[in-house]
Amino acid sequence: MKKELKIESYYTCYETIEDAPEEYKNLIAEAKQAVKGSYAPYSNFNVGAALLLNNGKIIHGSNQENASYPIGFCAERTALSAAASIAPSEKIKSITITCSCAHHPVTTPGAPCGICRQTILEAETKHQQNIEVILTGETGAIYIFKTIKDLLPLYFDGRLL
């Protein structure tokens, strides 16, 4: 029997930062701070990520590029690596990601690349806790996903079927 099926995903959208609750405004401000550490002379696309740990601590990460392009790090994985090194047993409540570009204003939320989605999933698996994913551009809407699994349907979590 052949079936055509559909995958659904849910997220919350605030149309502008003014519509968002204070806690998200603060996390977005942290992610914007993180963008300042970005080193992106090749793409001119600056990304910042702010992790909120269960203990309330915030950890920043930003993209770090290299003349040998594939060596570059994304902001999300920079932040996750820092958290795993500094506070390996502390669970991660959320990751807030934002970006800006030297060439044009970013008015829609940036979305994590596939490798970063899989890396965020690994952090969920490690700590057995969902990580809220908060996405925004320089301006415009804010998207909030309760778990990375909503951005990674049919995810691979290491279990061999």
User: For ligand THU, which residue of 14, 52, 112, 148 counts as binding (CB under 6 A)?
Assistant: 112
**Neighbour tally for 81: CB within 10 Å:** 14
C-alpha distances in angstroms, 85 versus 26, 80, 90, 91, 105? 24, 9, 10, 13, 34
Active site annotation includes 76: yes
Under the binding rule (CB under 6 A), the answer on residue 76 touching ligand THU is yes
Amino acid, res. 115: I
Under the binding rule (CB under 6 A), the answer on residue 155 touching ligand THU is no
Q: Give whichever of 58 and 100 is closer to ligand THU, judged by the CB atom.
A: 100
Under the binding rule (CB under 6 A), the answer on residue 37 touching ligand THU is no
Span between the terminal Cα atoms of the chain, in Å: 22
User: For ligand THU, which residue of 36, 57, 113, 129 counts as binding (CB under 6 A)?
Assistant: 113
Under the binding rule (CB under 6 A), the answer on residue 79 touching ligand THU is no
